[in-house]
Amino acid sequence: MRKVLLSFAAVLFAGAATAQVTVDFEDFNLKADTVDVGKTLTPGKGFDIQGFNFCNGYVDYDGYDYFDGFAISTMTSTAFQSLSDQYNSCVGSGAEQSKTYAVLYYSTYGGNTMQITHSENHYFSPQSVAVTNAAYAFSSITNGDSFAKRFTADDWFRLYIIGMKDSVVTDTVTVDLAADGMLLFAWRTIDLTSLGEVDHIVFGMNSTDVSAYGMNTPAYCCFDNFVSLVSETTAAKSINSSVYEAAPLGIYSVDGTQLQSLRRGLNLLRMNDGSIRKIYR
């Protein structure tokens, strides 16, 4: 009897899903060692990729390219020497040695919701995603830097993948990017089936190294091969892919002094919606 019930449930679910979709980012056809940070996107729109929307917030401030959310990368270097290397993974390729992957910069300063939605607002059931560390976070955790400390065995750095349906959390999957003296330095496939059916996924990041301005550990990681089943049913309400449409008002130091240009170290970019973006230079 149990087998019959399980088979019936599988048929019901199959009827509700149109297809299994794998987002591998290869459709961007980027040249080797390049990155798309969202310059050509409509503000607040995000990247539409194989039926899903990946949030992106891009601002050009005095010639400086600021982004949060997702950028699309084909960078092969695993080094981190300056912010020009913020699009590097710690692996040097996508999952399964593919060319293209996504870099997530998780902003803790409002404005842009860190999320994945369906481009046509359908419910979907996430199955898995490949995750690894970005070179920036890997370098900081291993060596420390001018903002963050070198990790000990007691420190941790985590990514939270949170399923949402009709404004209710379905479940949270926690990914240890660093914990117990271990550091993720290969692509790891994360099981997302516990999230169930959702209308969007939101992300969070945290670590044991925090200060008055939030997490000191660079809030970066890399994604590839996002696999999901897509329902034929439209979500109960529309989920905006991003609300990042604010314009910059000025650049400030951490003590509140307005600056004429970006300086080395931590800069605070104040936006006209009252939010603040952190810029490290």
Residue 8 has pLDDT above 60, yes or no: no
Task: Tell me how far apart the alpha carbons of residues 193 and 230 are, in angstroms, rounded to a whole number.
Answer: 13
How much is the mean pLDDT over the chain? 86
- Residue 174 is predicted with a pLDDT of 96
> Using CA of residue 145, residue 149, residue 151, residue 156, what is the dihedral sign?
negative
Task: Report percent pLDDT > 90 for the chain.
Answer: 63
- Residue 95 is predicted with a pLDDT of 98
Q: Are residues 242 and 57 in contact, defined by beta-carbon separation less than 8 angstroms?
A: yes
Give residue 241's pLDDT band: very low, low, confident or very high (50, 70, 90): low
Residue 171 has pLDDT above 60, yes or no: yes
- Residue 15 is predicted with a pLDDT of 46
Among the listed ranges 2-16, 17-31, 157-171, which one has the minimum average pLDDT value? 2-16
- Residue 2 is predicted with a pLDDT of 34
54: β partners: 47, 116
Give the residue-averaged pLDDT of 37-64: 88
- Please tell me the pTM assigned to this model: 0.84
Task: Tell me how far apart the alpha carbons of residues 199 and 205 are, in angstroms, rounded to a whole number.
Answer: 21
What pLDDT digit, counting tens, does each position of 187-236 carry? 999 999 999 999 999 999 999 999 877 889 999 999 999 999 999 988 87
Which fold, 16-245? Answer: Jelly Rolls (2.60.120)
* R_g of the chain, CA atoms, integer Å: 19
Give the residue-averaged pLDDT of 110-131: 90
Q: 248-252 and 258-259 as β-strands: parallel, antiparallel, unpaired? A: antiparallel
Contacts by residues 152-157 (CB-CB < 8 Å, ≥ 24 positions apart): 152/181, 153/180, 153/181, 154/208, 155/179, 155/207, 155/208, 155/209, 156/180, 156/207, 156/208, 157/205, 157/206, 157/207, 157/208, 157/217
- Residue 75 is predicted with a pLDDT of 98
The residue among 115 and 245 whose pLDDT is bigger is 115
* Domain segments of the chain as ranges: 16-245
Angle at 194 between CA 14 and CA 48, to 5 degrees: 70
Give the residue-averaged pLDDT of 18-25: 92
Among the listed ranges 101-105, 240-244, 261-265, which one has the minimum average pLDDT value? 240-244
- Residue 280 is predicted with a pLDDT of 62
What pLDDT digit, counting tens, does each position of 76-94 carry? 999 999 888 999 999 999 9
